[in-house]
Amino acid sequence: MTGHRRESFGEGFDSLCRSLRHIAREYQDLQIVFPVHFNPNVREPVQRILSGVERGFLIEPEEYLPLVYLMTSCNLIITDSGGIQEEAPSLGKSVLVTRETTERPEAVLAGTVTLVGTRSSKLIQEVGKFFADHDSQRRGVQISNPYGDGFASKRIVESFMSVFA
């Protein structure tokens, strides 16, 4: 889980935290790792609502490579981050986006992300669907990445080499 967007501050962020608390209690084999942003509008509700939640790990924000490692190690990503919406498909991960809209509609159309907003019921419902449905768990791995296949650099080099050969 990551969260830091200003549009979620206040009741929206409180609702997300209550949802995570509910999810942690509902799914006994689930662990939630939440690198908590330094912004007090994030830290205060996270600490107030999620501190002491069993199997909830509130950690300091991670640098990029450790964050990528966490993403590769998880089953599902919950975030409001635009960058993570782009990176997760390359890692074969499904994403629940805790925003009402996204600047990455191609990810929604491709099915690599699902918009859940900040309403508790929608996030809880989508997490439930994900863990109840094995096909849903494999969805992120099977869907074509809307941001490419990871070979753009190779193609660019080959293109340059053919021009200068």
Distance from C-alpha of 21 to C-alpha of 30, rounded to nearest angstrom: 11
**pLDDT computed for residue 69 by the predictor:** 96
Confidence at 142, pLDDT banded by 50, 70, 90: low
Distance from C-alpha of 19 to C-alpha of 122, rounded to nearest angstrom: 9
**Residue at 87 is within a domain:** yes
Distance from C-alpha of 134 to C-alpha of 91, rounded to nearest angstrom: 18
How many Å from the N-terminal Cα to the C-terminal Cα in the chain?
Answer: 48
Question: For residue 32, what are its two tokens?
Answer: 């939630």
Q: Dump pLDDT digits (tens) for 47-90.
A: 999 999 999 999 999 999 999 999 999 999 999 999 999 898 88
**Residue at 67 is within a domain:** yes
Distance from C-alpha of 26 to C-alpha of 24, rounded to nearest angstrom: 6
**pLDDT computed for residue 152 by the predictor:** 82
**Residue at 103 is within a domain:** yes
**Residue at 1 is within a domain:** no
**Residue at 84 is within a domain:** yes
CATH number of residue 13's parent domain: 3.40.50.2000
Range of the domain at 56: 6-164
**Residue at 148 is within a domain:** yes
- The domain total for the chain is 1
**pLDDT computed for residue 92 by the predictor:** 87
The arithmetic mean of pLDDT across residues 104-118, rounded, is 89
Q: How high does pLDDT run on average in the chain?
A: 89
What pTM was estimated for this model as a whole? 0.85
**Residue at 117 is within a domain:** yes
**Residue at 137 is within a domain:** yes
